[in-house]
């Protein structure tokens, strides 16, 4: 039985993530809907006494249903069906080989009573809660050390009812860090798709120490002034795809992380091989896509493509600080479209925010080989605000084929640079910083990560670039 189940699981993983197992380790987001839909065992949450009236607390029903379905984890897995209705619940744990299915009209509502969100230990790569020292509230949908987990449906909704948490945060009434909507820890084979996320108390989706993650076809919404309601935050995770999402929140739409200062350095779990594709959204306080500021375990091999951002604060931002250590390298950003964005591209080398006084201020981050290619924008406030760290220059930062129309009434220089060095070509307005050379081809093309085939051919007719094989 165990041997046959192992064979079934290998085939399942290949069906989910077949593109990731192809020659050369190519990273794609394709997965099989037929595998998601088919679980040999299925139950409805109503079979365990759940009432979808928006008032009855159904935490026990979810817990009992998942306890029962766990007996099928070695028999092909199971599906927990959530029908139309308002299903109020506190935090509950997922299991391996599970599909949590929210049908059309189904809403899982997070309880507004903090006691229904248990308190757990901080993550080892953070050393404490992100907002407050000590422990933190557990996410509404939670799991750790799992394999093959799917959260999907017919555009059902997960609503954290976060306004009460935002008020507690603003009034200084929290005893522990606020909870996420979904957090999976040390999980392999995670799919979150075809859902709407609303009003998270804190970050919406937080895969941490995970591998083989697909986040696809989501709508994530929170008020523009809601505090720290990040959309998707892959953290110390590898082989992650985020595609075809619409996100409007009070913080970064996507933020790539890997641990905080000395705790992240010690835990040494990087984020790598992350693809973000076809994202649309708005944030008036933060960034479309951020890397950091918690990046002490390292971040590398990041591909961002087809981001559409409007009426927002910042397009792309890299955040770090002395004391972080770690690195951000091999990042390729392309096909960006901005409209009415205050700062198109921003590097912040002195972000601050440390977990405690034990960080090492001499632990400096290495920021290198970051390429921006095929970027356009209208009604831009500042094209680039690029601030590195004195004595720790950010290097091999490349801009190619960038056209940003800066607002005519702006009195600021379109580009401001300090402790950042790199190359630019076909950029308007021109980067006037002395630390940027005005050409990439042919001498410096190898210094710029992931230049596209079209621009290589346009410049010098060079042969096919191997990085394209990863798309």
Distance between CA atoms of 111 and 119, rounded to whole angstroms? Answer: 14
What count of other Cβ atoms lies within 10 Å of the Cβ of residue 350? 12
The answer to whether the beta carbons of residues 237 and 205 sit under 8 Å apart is: no
**What is the tens place of the pLDDT at every residue in 388-417?**
999 999 999 999 999 999 998 767 899 999
Checking if the pLDDT of 271 tops 60, the result is yes
Predicted structure pTM score = 0.91
Judge whether 239 counts as a catalytic residue: no
Q: Tell me the per-residue pLDDT of 19-59, one tens digit each, with 9 for 90 and over.
A: 333 323 444 576 655 555 689 999 999 999 999 999 999 99
Q: Measured in Å, how far apart are the chain's first and last C-alpha atoms?
A: 38
For 46-215, CATH number? Answer: 2.160.20.10
Residue 406 near residue 378, CB atoms below 8 Å: no
Higher pLDDT, 30 or 196: 196
450: pLDDT strictly greater than 60: yes
Helix, strand, coil percentages in the chain from 3-state DSSP, rounded to 5: 15, 45, 40
**Reported confidence tier of residue 452, pLDDT bands at 50, 70, 90:** confident
Query: Average pLDDT over the chain, rounded to whole?
Result: 91
pLDDT in tens, 157-181: 999 999 999 999 999 999 999 999 9
Give how far the C-alpha of residue 177 lies from the chain's centroid of Cα atoms, to the nearest Å. 19
Fold matches, 46-215 and 252-458: yes
Structural domain boundaries in the chain: 46-215, 252-458
Residue 4 has what pLDDT?
39
Tell me the pLDDT tens digit for each residue of 106-143.
999 999 999 999 999 999 999 999 999 999 999 999 99
| Residues 6 or more apart whose Cβ sits within 8 Å of residue 89 | 57, 58, 59, 61, 62, 108, 109, 110, 111, 116, 140
The C-alpha atoms of residue 207 and residue 194 are separated, in whole angstroms, by 17
Choice among 251, 252, 261, 447 that is catalytic: 251
Q: What is the pLDDT of residue 5?
A: 36
**Nearest to residue 266, comparing CAs of 349, 337, 359?**
359
Task: State which H helix or E strand residue 211 sits in.
Answer: strand 211-221
- Give the H/E segment covering residue 257: none
pLDDT value at 6 more than 50: no
Topology of the domain covering 252-458 = Pectate Lyase C-like (2.160.20)
The pLDDT of residue 459 is 57
Model pLDDT, residue 454? 67
């Amino acid at each position: 039985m165990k041997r046959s189940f192992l064979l079934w699981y290998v085939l399942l993983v290949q069906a989910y993530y077949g593109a990731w197992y192809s020659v050369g380790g190519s990273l794609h987001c394709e997965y099989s809907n037929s595998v998601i839909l088919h679980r040999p065992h299925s139950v409805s949450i109503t079979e365990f006494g759940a009432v979808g009236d928006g008032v009855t607390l159904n935490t026990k029903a979810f817990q009992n249903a998942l306890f029962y379905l766990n007996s099928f984890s070695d028999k092909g897995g199971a599906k927990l069906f959530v029908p139309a209705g308002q299903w109020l619940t506190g935090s509950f744990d997922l299991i391996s080989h599970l599909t949590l299915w929210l049908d059309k009209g189904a809403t899982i509502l997070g309880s507004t009573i903090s006691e229904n969100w248990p308190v757990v230990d901080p993550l080892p790569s953070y050393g404490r809660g992100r907002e407050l020292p000590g422990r933190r509230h557990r996410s509404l949908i939670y799991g750790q050390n799992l394999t093959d987990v799917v959260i999907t449906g017919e555009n059902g909704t997960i609503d954290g009812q976060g306004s009460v948490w935002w008020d507690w945060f603003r009034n200084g009434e929290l005893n522990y860090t606020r909870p996420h909507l979904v957090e999976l820890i040390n999980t392999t084979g995670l799919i979150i798709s075809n859902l709407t996320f609303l009003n998270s108390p804190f970050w919406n989706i937080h895969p941490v120490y995970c591998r083989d993650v697909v986040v696809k076809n989501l709508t994530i919404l929170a008020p523009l002034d809601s505090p720290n309601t990040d959309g998707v935050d892959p953290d110390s995770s590898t082989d992650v795809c985020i595609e075809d999402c619409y996100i409007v929140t009070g913080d970064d739409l996507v933020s790539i992380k890997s641990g905080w200062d000395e705790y992240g350095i010690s835990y040494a779990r990087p984020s790598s091989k992350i693809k973000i594709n076809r994202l649309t959204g708005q944030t008036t306080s933060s960034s479309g896509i951020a890397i950091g500021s918690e990046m002490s375990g390292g971040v590398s091999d990041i591909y961002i493509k087809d981001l559409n951002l409007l009426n927002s604060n910042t397009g792309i931002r890299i955040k770090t600080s002395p004391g972080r250590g770690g690195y951000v390298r091999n990042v390729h950003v392309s096909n960006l479209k901005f409209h009415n964005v205050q700062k198109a591209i921003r590097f912040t080398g002195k972000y601050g925010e440390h977990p405690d006084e034990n960080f090492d201020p001499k632990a400096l981050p290495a920021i290198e080989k970051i390429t921006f290619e095929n970027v356009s924008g209208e009604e831009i406030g500042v094209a680039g605000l690029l601030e590195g760290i004195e004595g720790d220059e950010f290097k091999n930062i490349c801009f190619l084929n960038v056209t940003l129309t800066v607002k005519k009434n702006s009195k600021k220089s379109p580009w401001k640079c300090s402790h950042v060095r790199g190359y630019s070509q076909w950029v308007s307005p021109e980067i006037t910083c002395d630390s940027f050379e005005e050409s990439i081809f042919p001498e410096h093309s190898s210094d710029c990560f992931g230049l596209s085939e079209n621009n290589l051919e346009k410049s010098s007719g060079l042969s096919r670039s191997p990085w394209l094989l990863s798309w």
